[in-house]
Amino acid sequence: MIIILITLSILFNIFFFALLLKYRRLYVEERYKKSSMSVKYGKFLENYIPWIKEIFPYRVDKFRFIGNPIDGIVFDENEIVFMEFKTGKSKLNESQKRIKKLVKEKKVKWKEIKIGQ
């Protein structure tokens, strides 16, 4: 009788563990899909933000899209603005944080290179 109970207990634990692994894998897959969709939505939206007047305070023809490592630059009459668009809970990556820091510390230069002279 004890052997039967131990065997049943072992079988139950194996079944439970297999079920747990299956649902954990499904959870991870769904989480990845949701994250992937959020990234795609953000990438899609960042191309259209300059045309949304309620959000974008500059003239759209003054904006130049770069895409990476920042979304773009505004070349306004009196200033140059480095722009990064974020949706939802997204945050600046390390490269973007470094660029932001350099701009805030005014470590931005003008460099002109002449070719053929």
If one compares 9 and 96, the residue with the highest pLDDT of the two is: 96
State the average pLDDT over residues 5-29: 73
pTM across the whole model: 0.62
Question: For residues 54, 60, 62 and 63, what is the CA-based torsion angle, rounded to 10 degrees?
Answer: 90
CA distances from 38 to 33, 34, 45, 49, 86 (A): 9, 6, 10, 16, 11
- Cis peptide bond prior to 69, omega within 30° of 0: yes
Q: How far is CA 85 from the centre of its chain?
A: 10
Write down the pLDDT at residue 33: 66
d(CA 105, CA 116): 34
| CA-based nearest residue to 82, from 3, 96, 91, 95 | 96
* Helix (H/G/I), strand (E/B), else coil: 77: coil
If one compares 56 and 90, the residue with the highest pLDDT of the two is: 56
**pLDDT tens digits, 19-37:** 777 777 777 777 766 666 7
